[in-house]
Amino acid sequence: MKKFALALVIFLLVLSTAIIKNTTKQIEDEIFTAKENIRVLNSELENVSLEHDYLSSAERLLEYQSQYFEDELIQKNINDIRIYNISDDLNKIQNFKIIKE
Amino acid sequence: MADNKSKLTIEDYKSDFIFKKKENGLNIQFNRVAFIFFVFFIIYLIYTIHLIHLGSRKSKFENINNLPGSKNKLYRADIIDINGNYLAKTVKSIDIGLKTSDIINEKKLLLSLNIIFPDKNFDEIKKKIKTKKFFYLEKKISEENYEKIMKLGDKSLVPEERVLRMYPQKNLFSHVLGQIDDDNNGISGLEKSLNDELRKSTESIKLTLDKDIQFLIRKELIKYQEIFKSKGSAAILMDVNNGNILSLVSLPDFNPNERQNITDVNYINRVTKGTYELGSVFKAFTFASALNEKVIKPETEFLDLPKSIKCDKYRIGEYDNEIPSDLTAEQILVRSGNIGSVKIAQKVGSEKFKLFLEKVGVLSDIDFDIEEVAPQKNYDFGKCRLATASFGHGIATTILQLAKGYSILSNGGYEIKPTLIYKENNFNKKNKRILNRGISEQVVSALRKIVNTEEGTAKFADVQNYEIGGKTGTADQPEGGAYSEAKINTFASIFPTSNPQFVFVVMLDTPKKSKDYYYKYRHRKGGWKGTLYNTAGWTSVEVAGKVIDKIGPILATKYIEVN
């Protein structure tokens, strides 16, 4: 009986090792593929961000503005800025001031 | 019957027999099991070790991407601004070379290339094919053309991958970022001081600078550099509470993408490297040191102040002879009195005044993130040096140190370290206190009066709703042992004065009067055409006011917490 149990344990260990190894390899492959995809996407994102940063830089935007619009850009007055407070179900519009009174 | 008698004796049977298992056979059986077990155990052990190894090792992906330096020697981490916009970026580019010895069918190749690059001069290429073994057909090729080239399948076309350092903001951050050499080693600015970090780091390095604010400040500086025909100009915007620099501009600047060899001294970083006698902006330190030493109060009166005094052979006079002879300490600062400032400094004493200037950082070496920082000269504070230093002459410092000093004057008197590198936990961390409690408020109140009162010298910077306070400084530049006509006009401002958040310093190097520029009054209707005086009040103050007009809404909505 003891011998049988021992053999069974050994067999189970071998079997579990094989299964675990196989599963780990599969998971590792999946992780590798996922990471490779992320790397490619990251690289693409970086390039697109770079392009976006360049095309939407203030210098460029002003260029486009003068190229496509006749109106001048108007400088925003701090008095025209309001705080829209939606906390506590109360929609309140407050004046925006940076100075202490 | 008697003869047949026999005796029956019953004795205990003693036997030597002991049951024993046959040992030889058993041993063979046991050894066999143990051997099989041992074999399986070894196999199991091998698999276990392998599993542990598989589990603990880094994946191929991590190995490649976590050590960019080992993959590509030219790799450098990206630099981004506080909002994540790229300021410097490493990009890969492909150059297409042509190995002439490997060309099989020249005519067919040229025909195909003509379709891909219709604008190329193919006569020149034909010449090169005949004379050279190898030449670059196209550098920094687009992905689309690269694919087309590869589809030709011609082995004479050799792609070569290169790493490029790009500065998408061009000139905007040139003095901060610096330049790199052909081996991608930093040779100036942050590219130099962070060289090792940039080579090793996989993450982008985040700066405290804001691209949009930097753009607006630079744009205004360029505009006014043309109006006042100045040789150069500089500006720095810094958070007074944590030393984060939001903008650092020095003109003229350069395009780091062009990798020029800059030898002209006019291209120095005027904020960190240029040292100047900054004039009356020092009067705020004189006033603060006297308050800190408790030798004066803002309302302390100085009576019968002369219009000029002599120190050795040098005459010290007032810039404005209309200045009253009886003034309080605060009025001396507001009206920018030279003689009054000398009297205040004399009350403090040479040693204490020098120590104060060192403590606030204007006369001590500064530890900064870029290496292009001027070393601070050590001055002997004799009788005359004390007198001239009280109104900012005879001692030179940098705009960066001045900004640091004004930050300490306005943030409650706490030490700060100006920085360009963003740190997550650098917000409102209170450092060592340098000024006594209450001094900062008194100085800030006086600085506000310089901007919002009729007697003040900085009325053109009184931008509504921002509560600007500050001090002007018009200094003659020393040249060959004497002072020349050329001026350094500086305005050091802080705002909002009710709760100081930012220090903003503008400096114009050798500005000239403008005949045509129209000054619009901020306190009343109308304006004035032409620069009346070549002073900071008519130049740097106007620039600072216009800049704050533009950057104010961004600062207010992005950087100031409103309750």
Question: Is the Cβ–Cβ distance between B444 and B328 less than 8 Å?
Answer: no
Across the interface, whether the CB atoms of A24 and B51 are under 8 A apart is answered yes
Q: Check whether residue B327 and residue B396 sit in a common domain.
A: yes
Across the interface, whether the CB atoms of A98 and B61 are under 8 A apart is answered no
Centre a 10 Å sphere on the Cβ of residue B144 and count the other Cβ atoms it contains.
9
Choose the closest CB to A78 out of B41, B48, B553: B553
The predicted model gives B474-493 an average pLDDT of 87
Q: What is the pLDDT of residue B247?
A: 96
> What digits encode the pLDDT tens for the residues A47-69?
888 888 888 888 888 888 888 88
The predicted model gives B187-197 an average pLDDT of 93
Structural domain that includes position B355: 214-558
User: Which run of H or E residues covers position B208?
Assistant: none
Q: What is the pLDDT of residue B2?
A: 47
State which residue of chain A sits closest to B215, comparing Cα positions: A58
Q: Check whether residue B491 and residue B370 sit in a common domain.
A: yes
To the nearest whole angstrom, how far is the Cα of A65 from the nearest Cα of chain B? 16
Residues A22 and B108: their CA atoms lie apart, in Å, by: 52
Q: What is the pLDDT of residue B164?
A: 84
> What digits encode the pLDDT tens for the residues B65-101?
444 444 566 789 999 999 999 999 988 888 899 998 8
Region for A77 from its dihedrals, namely left if φ exceeds 0, alpha if ψ lies in -120 to 50, beta otherwise: beta
The predicted model gives B377-405 an average pLDDT of 93
A42 belongs to a structural domain: yes
List of chain B residues whose C-beta atoms are within 8 Å of the C-beta of residue A14: 40, 43-44, 47
The predicted model gives B292-312 an average pLDDT of 91
Banded pLDDT at B229 (limits 50, 70, 90): very high
The predicted model gives B261-282 an average pLDDT of 91
Question: Is the Cβ–Cβ distance between B321 and B262 less than 8 Å?
Answer: no
Structural domain that includes position A26: 2-71
The predicted model gives B298-318 an average pLDDT of 89
Interchain CB contacts (distance < 8 Å): A and B:
101
CATH number of the CATH domain containing B101: 3.90.1310.10
Which residue shows structure tokens 């991407």?
B65
B160 belongs to a structural domain: yes
Banded pLDDT at A1 (limits 50, 70, 90): confident
B172 belongs to a structural domain: no
B303 belongs to a structural domain: yes
Choose the closest CB to A31 out of B59, B465, B556: B59
A20 belongs to a structural domain: yes
A67 vs B: CB within 8 A: no
Across the interface, whether the CB atoms of A24 and B562 are under 8 A apart is answered no
Query: A53, A55, A101: which to substitute to probe chain B, counting the most B Cβ within 10 Å?
Result: A53
Domain boundary among B164, B193, B224: B164
Which residue shows structure tokens 């360049």?
A54
Across the interface, whether the CB atoms of B211 and A10 are under 8 A apart is answered no
DSSP state of B377: P
Across the interface, whether the CB atoms of A14 and B499 are under 8 A apart is answered no
A11 belongs to a structural domain: yes
Across the interface, whether the CB atoms of B496 and A78 are under 8 A apart is answered no
B26 belongs to a structural domain: no
List of chain A residues whose C-beta atoms are within 8 Å of the C-beta of residue B545: none
The predicted model gives B38-55 an average pLDDT of 88
CATH number of the CATH domain containing B245: 3.40.710.10
Helix axes B350-359 and B283-292, enclosed angle (nearest 10): 110
Task: Count Cα atoms within 13 angstroms, Cβ side, for A25.
Answer: 8
How do B79-80 and B205-206 pair as beta strands?
A: parallel
B67 belongs to a structural domain: no
Within the 5-64 window of chain A, which residues sit less than 8 Å (CB to CB) from chain B? 6-7, 10, 13-14, 17-18, 20-21, 24-25, 28, 31-32, 35-36, 39, 46-47, 49-50, 53-54, 57-59
The predicted model gives B408-433 an average pLDDT of 85
pLDDT of B21 higher than 80: no
**pLDDT, mean over chain B:** 88
A96 belongs to a structural domain: no
Q: What is the pLDDT of residue B262?
A: 79
B192 belongs to a structural domain: no
Across the interface, whether the CB atoms of B496 and A81 are under 8 A apart is answered no
Question: Is the Cβ–Cβ distance between A28 and A36 less than 8 Å?
Answer: no
B143 vs A: CB within 8 A: no
Q: What is the pTM of this model?
A: 0.80
> What digits encode the pLDDT tens for the residues B346-371?
999 999 999 999 999 999 999 999 99
Banded pLDDT at B31 (limits 50, 70, 90): confident
Between B284 and B142, where is the model more confident? B284
State which residue of chain B sits closest to A7, comparing Cα positions: B37
Q: Check whether residue B104 and residue B251 sit in a common domain.
A: no
pLDDT of B254 higher than 80: yes
B157 belongs to a structural domain: yes
Q: What is the pLDDT of residue A55?
A: 86
Pick from A39-53, B49-63, B122-136, B470-484: least confident: B49-63
A51 belongs to a structural domain: yes
Q: Has the ipTM of the complex gone over 0.90? A: no
Q: Of A56-70, B33-47, B404-418, give the range with the top mean pLDDT.
A: B404-418
Q: What is the pLDDT of residue A84?
A: 80
Q: Check whether residue B122 and residue B271 sit in a common domain.
A: no
Report the candidate in B374, B220, B386 with the shortest Cα–Cα distance to residue B290: B386
| CA end-to-end distance (rounded Å), chain A | 91
Across the interface, whether the CB atoms of B499 and A54 are under 8 A apart is answered no
Q: What is the pLDDT of residue B524?
A: 82
The predicted model gives B445-455 an average pLDDT of 93
To the nearest whole angstrom, how far is the Cα of B171 from the nearest Cα of chain A? 11
Report the candidate in B217, B222, B228, B221 with the shortest Cα–Cα distance to residue B510: B228
User: Which run of H or E residues covers position B205?
Assistant: strand B205-206
Q: What percent of chain A stands above pLDDT 90?
A: 12
A93 belongs to a structural domain: no
A64 belongs to a structural domain: yes
Domain tally for chain B?
2
HEC sequence for B307-331? CEEEECCEEEECCCCCCCCCEEHHH
Q: Check whether residue B307 and residue B386 sit in a common domain.
A: yes
Q: What percent of chain B stands above pLDDT 90?
A: 55
Q: Check whether residue B337 and residue B483 sit in a common domain.
A: yes
Q: Check whether residue B237 and residue B379 sit in a common domain.
A: yes
Q: Check whether residue B428 and residue B301 sit in a common domain.
A: yes
B533 belongs to a structural domain: yes
Q: What is the pLDDT of residue B361?
A: 94
pLDDT of B557 higher than 80: yes
Q: Check whether residue B132 and residue B236 sit in a common domain.
A: no
Across the interface, whether the CB atoms of B465 and A59 are under 8 A apart is answered no
Cα radius of gyration rounded to whole Å, chain B: 39
Question: Is the Cβ–Cβ distance between B188 and B179 less than 8 Å?
Answer: yes
Q: What is the pLDDT of residue A2?
A: 83
Tokens of B293: 């030493």
> What digits encode the pLDDT tens for the residues B49-74?
988 887 777 655 454 444 444 456 67
Across the interface, whether the CB atoms of B47 and A17 are under 8 A apart is answered yes
A95 belongs to a structural domain: no
The predicted model gives A72-77 an average pLDDT of 77
Domain tally for chain A?
1
